Structure 1
Amino acid sequence: MKTVIIIAGPTASGKTALAIKLAQLFGTSVISADSRQCYREISIGTAKPTPEELSAVPHYFIDSHSIREEVNAGIYEQLALQYAAEIFQKNDVAIMCGGTGLYIRAFCEGIDDMPAIPPGIREMLNARYEEHGLSWLQEQLRQRDPQFYATAETQNPQRLIRALEVLEATGQSITTFRTAVKAQRDFRIIKIGLTPSKEKLHENIHKRVDLMMAAGLVEEVKSVLPYRQHNALRTVGYQEIFDYLDGKLSLEQAVEDIKTHTRQYAKRQLTWFRKDKEYQWFDPTETMIETIIADIL
């Protein structure tokens, strides 16, 4: 039976290394499930696999789009299903690897069709967010869409802006467009979650941020300044450097903020994935790949 093995977990938990080992073992390819690594213009702040890792096994959805293009969970679902079908022509197993929980859920279960949003609405909301910050988004939704707000990721500005877009464009809550009907896939899905100890994860995160800075993160952020309103850049690692370039933070404080916000993001990722009881969890620092294989197959 055709099988997709999903490797998920928080940022800096060792997903890429395991995915490549599994892909080599099965002689197959890796489909990225990261909402930012698909953009060619941003590599350092997205922690893309290294050129050596990318050449070790074929990868899909890495450097596949320009930052000028909009990619969302609905688009990802269609693309990832196409990638899997292509891999299945020659292999029985495909590997999916990433930390964007919404993309993985869209691939596994499908995602509801959302209404088209006129560009002016998005621009207006982005401008308000720039001016008033996260607390404004939270308060707007708390008052105007309490049903959504009750279960929302309230620390995630992208999700909040998306909900407000739908509200502005249709006058209805984003929850009205969710049918909760799971799509049926004609392949088996195995979900593996990686969770190193809290201490090890934080150590990995701090080390990664220092390496990003040494690799030229500030220069990369400068190169995408014209696109700073893009959702892909409204995330950890870019927002803090924008603040530094705007003179709001010292570089030292920006780096500390990236580390803090990345730790918080990793915690939110774990919370998301742990809600899905289909995941089997492993500590990547202690688990040999043979043990994982024995457990999942």
Structure 2
Amino acid sequence: MMLNSVINVDFNYTMTKVLISIVGPTAIGKTALSIKLAQHFNAEIISADSRQFYKEMSIGTAVPFEEELNAAPHHFIQNKSIEDDYNVGDFERDAISKISVLHEKNPIVVMVGGSGLYVKAVTKGLDYFPEVETHIRTDLNLQLEEKGLIHLQEQLKSLDSEAYETIAIENPKRVIRALEICISTGKPYSSFLTNPEKTRNFKTISIGLNSERSTIYNRINQRVDLMIANGLLAEVKSLTPYKHHNALNTVGYKELFQFIDGHWTLEFAISEIKKNTRRFAKRQLTWFRKDDSIAWFDFETNVDEIINHISSQLN
């Protein structure tokens, strides 16, 4: 569905700098909505999907198709290499800088992505965490090597059930980060996620897309099947020399490495991708539902209704 009135929008009604943030679970249609809104407001798009930063990863991260990228200017899509050391703090700095530049020519910028921490870094700023003694991190990494990720996940579940339910639990780096805070401070990692928000020179209007769980899961299963049909296995095979990089320790890649290494059948690996993606979607919703500033819409909502909501916030 395309809008009849794209481009050439009169911005006289707002001099306020605005960031339209589109969030929601994976495969719900955030990319399509971001493009429609960018076209309507003649705006550019910032990606806050931490997996789409890497140029070597395309199919498994659902990078927008070429025609989608050409439909509106995009930023932070495949702009880094998996060999680069790039974290959420770097993204916060780079994204705020880019948004400032874009606001010089248009009061509205669209941001889209399901990486909750990266979205929060832009809209509200990162939380402060105390320094951690090196030996704690070293010990946790040793436990990871000797006892595996599940062992660390169970520790986190015991020490901070809220963090266990919301962080990227399949990412060892995130699990270790949460555990080292719990162990070094004696307090839950999640208790440090309530620091005062940073002041931004723009207003954020947050839009969430959602649907019934069965619909989300069906869309995820269909997306994974499409990724496989589009050559995901070949993409993962080409990245085998780099499989120990943190960027590749993610859903869609780690499961196929298990197949390539002879540990799993291809059928089982694909089923695990679907299962882990469904779990990821559940965590995304748990994260975003804590933010009462998000206006939620069914993914099939007519885009005009969403535009009307945004316009009411602008006015």
1:152 is the counterpart of 2:173:
no
Q: Deviations over 1:43-94 (max 9, x none)?
A: 0100000011111111111011110112222111111101111110110100
Give the number of aligned pairs.
Answer: 290
Give the partner amino acid of 1:187. F
Q: Deviations over 1:145-198 (max 9, x none)?
A: x3xx24312571432122345679xx4468497671210111110000000232
Cα drift, residue 125 of structure 1? 4.9
After superposition, residues 78-89 of structure 1 pair within 5 angstroms as 78-89=93-104
1:209 is the counterpart of 2:224:
yes
Name the counterpart of 2:118.
103
Name the counterpart of 1:274.
289
Cα drift, residue 132 of structure 1? 2.5
Q: Which of 275, 294, 303 does residue 289 from structure 1 map onto?
A: 303
Return the alpha-carbon distance in structure 2 between the equivalents of residues 293 and 73 of structure 1: 30
**TM-score, normalised relative to structure 2:** 0.83
Give the partner amino acid of 1:197. E
SS of aligned partner of 1:151: helix
Return the alpha-carbon distance in structure 1 between the equivalents of residues 138 and 58 of structure 2: 25
Residues 24 and 57, structure 1, Cα contact 8 Å, conserved in 2 = yes
1:3 is the counterpart of 2:3:
no
Going from structure 1 to structure 2, the CA distance change for 1:142 and 1:97 (only over 3 Å counts) comes to: closer
Residues 156 and 164, structure 2, Cα contact 8 Å, conserved in 1 = no
Going from structure 1 to structure 2, the CA distance change for 1:196 and 1:177 (only over 3 Å counts) comes to: closer
Going from structure 1 to structure 2, the CA distance change for 1:141 and 1:9 (only over 3 Å counts) comes to: closer
Residues 35 and 232, structure 1, Cα contact 8 Å, conserved in 2 = no
SS of aligned partner of 2:122: helix
Cα drift, residue 20 of structure 1? 0.4
Residues 20 and 56, structure 1, Cα contact 8 Å, conserved in 2 = yes
After superposition, residues 80-229 of structure 1 pair within 5 angstroms as 80-112=95-127, 125=140, 128-129=143-144, 131-141=146-156, 146=159, 149-153=160-164, 156-158=169-171, 159-164=174-179, 171-172=184-185, 175=189, 180-229=195-244
Name the counterpart of 2:77.
62
Return the alpha-carbon distance in structure 2 between the equivalents of residues 128 and 233 of structure 1: 20
Please say which of residues 171-180 and 244-253 is displaced more in the overlay: 171-180
Q: Which of 8, 15, 20 does residue 35 from structure 2 map onto?
A: 20
Going from structure 1 to structure 2, the CA distance change for 1:182 and 1:220 (only over 3 Å counts) comes to: same
Cα drift, residue 219 of structure 1? 1.6
Return the alpha-carbon distance in structure 2 between the equivalents of residues 43 and 128 of structure 1: 32
Residues 23 and 30, structure 2, Cα contact 8 Å, conserved in 1 = yes
Cα drift, residue 134 of structure 1? 2.7
Unaligned stretches of 5+ residues in structure 2: 1-15
SS of aligned partner of 2:163: coil
Residues 77 and 107, structure 1, Cα contact 8 Å, conserved in 2 = yes
Going from structure 1 to structure 2, the CA distance change for 1:19 and 1:165 (only over 3 Å counts) comes to: same
Cα drift, residue 120 of structure 1? 10
Cα drift, residue 226 of structure 1? 2.7
